[in-house]
Amino acid sequence: MSRLVLGGVLALALVGLGLFWWQGRAEVEQGAPPPMAQLDPPDPESLPTADPGELKGPAPPEATELTREEQRFFRYDRNRDRIISRNEMLSTRSAAFRKLDKDGNNLLDFEEWAVATVDRFEGADANHDNQLDMAEFRTTAPKRAARKSACRC
């Protein structure tokens, strides 16, 4: 019996909801503007024009060229505070470690390598504040190999 009553109440609720939706849709369609008739395109002579006169827009921003050393510096400086911390210097070295670890056991080779990296960092840190500024970092640049010419003249 309760199922029959519940079914009847739900049916009445759905009918009422349908009526509200139908009336609301009729109201929206009643307030809609009539369809526009196809208009001819405007005459180009009648379009408004503006004469800027002496006005000039702002100058475009200039892109700054970074030197090779500045580009290398910013690869290490992850948080862009213009200072390289010890952690920033060591974090970029994990790929080099993987190349050195031939057997893949992550033992001893990294410790030897980390000692070499810390020594390199401490050698570059002239004022011993555990941070490298641009001038100090410049001393860590790898030595470029001389190019061999392709021509055997």
- Average pLDDT taken over every residue of the chain: 78
Q: How many CB atoms lie within 10 A of CB 110?
A: 17
- % of the chain with per-residue pLDDT over 90: 13
Q: How far apart are CA 137 and CA 127, in angstroms?
A: 12
**CA distance between the termini of the chain:** 107
3-state class (DSSP) for residue 84: strand
User: Which residue numbers in the chain have pLDDT < 70?
Assistant: 22-42, 44, 47-49, 96-100, 102-103, 106-110, 112-113, 147-153
Answer whether 130's CB lies under 8 Å from 118's CB. no
Which residue is listed with tokens 């475009």?
A: 60
Instruction: Give the pLDDT of residue 91.
Output: 80
Per this entry, what is the length of the chain?
153
Instruction: Give the pLDDT of residue 102.
Output: 57
Residues 6+ away with beta carbon under 8 Å from 86: 118, 121, 130, 131
Q: Which two tokens stand for residue 145?
A: 């190999």
pTM exceeding the 0.85 threshold for the entire prediction: no
Q: Which two tokens stand for residue 1?
A: 């019996």
Instruction: Give the pLDDT of residue 72.
Output: 86
Instruction: Give the pLDDT of residue 20.
Output: 73
pLDDT digits (tens, 9 = 90+) for 48-67: 667 777 888 888 878 778 88
Instruction: Give the pLDDT of residue 116.
Output: 72
Q: How far apart are CA 17 and CA 142, in angstroms?
A: 76
3-state class (DSSP) for residue 85: strand
pLDDT digits (tens, 9 = 90+) for 66-92: 888 888 888 888 888 989 988 888 887
Amino acid at 114: A
Instruction: Give the pLDDT of residue 136.
Output: 92
